[in-house]
A and B are shown apart, each in its own frame.
Chain A
C-alpha cells in the first residue's frame, strides 16, 4: 500500500514565524503535491513537483515556497506565517500524470 506521511498532525505557530511542513512517500512516485483545505472552498493546489528539484505553482502559491531535494520528500515552507494561512494542509503523491493521487493524513496548522 502507498503510504504518505506528514511530519505533524497539529501545529500552532505565531504570526511571522517560518513554518516547515514535511511530507514523505514510500512508493517511488514521480509527482508530489501540496494542497490546503478550507470549509466551503474545498481543496486548492498550492504547489506541485513532477521531479526532484522541479516545482510548479498551483492555484494559490502566494506566501508559500517548496523544496524537493529527494524524490520521496516534499516540503512546504511558509516564509512568514500569517493568520490567513490557518488551514488543513494536505500532501499527496502520484505515480504518473494521469494516476490517482494518494493523500497523507493532513496537518492542521493554526497561526495565532
Chain B
C-alpha cells in the first residue's frame, strides 16, 4: 500500500535557525513529488515539483531535494513569515491521484 509519511509533525525554530523537513514515501511508480505550503484557514499553495532522484529545486529560503525513498525540504535562515504547514504529496504513474502526507507545522519565532 502506498504511504507518505512526514516528519516531524511539528517544528519550532528560532529566526535564522536552519532545519530540514522529511517526506518519506513508498509508492509503486513515482510520477512526481509535490511540496505545498498551507497557512491556517487557507488552501495549500504550490511550491515545487520533483520528478527524479537527484533533482533539486530552490525558491527563496526553501530548497527541495529528492531521493528514491524520500524528499527533504530545507529551510535556510527562516523568518517568521515562513511559519506554515508544509505538505508533501506523491503522484503515481498508474492514476491521476495525489496522496498527501499529514504535514509538518513549522513555527518560526523572532
What is A's interface to B at a CB cutoff of 8 Å? 4, 31, 40-45, 48, 50, 56, 58-59, 90, 92, 97-98, 100-106, 108
Contacts and interface: CB of A to CB of B under 8 A. Distances in A.
Contacts, number: 50
Given A100-B34, A101-B46, A106 B97 contact: no
Closest A-B pairs by Cβ, 7 of them: A103-B43, A43-B100, A42-B102, A100-B46, A42-B100, A103-B44, A106-B43
A44 to B, nearest CB: 8
Nearest to A105: B43
A106 B41 contact: yes
A93 to B, nearest CB: 11
Interface string B73-105: 000000000000001010100001110111100
A51 to B, nearest CB: 11
Interface string B24-61: 00000001101010000111111001000000000000
Nearest to B32: A98
Nearest to A99: B49
Contact of A90 (B43, B46, B49): B43
Contacts of B89: 43
A22 B43 CA distance: 15
B100 A101 contact: no
A103 B45 contact: yes
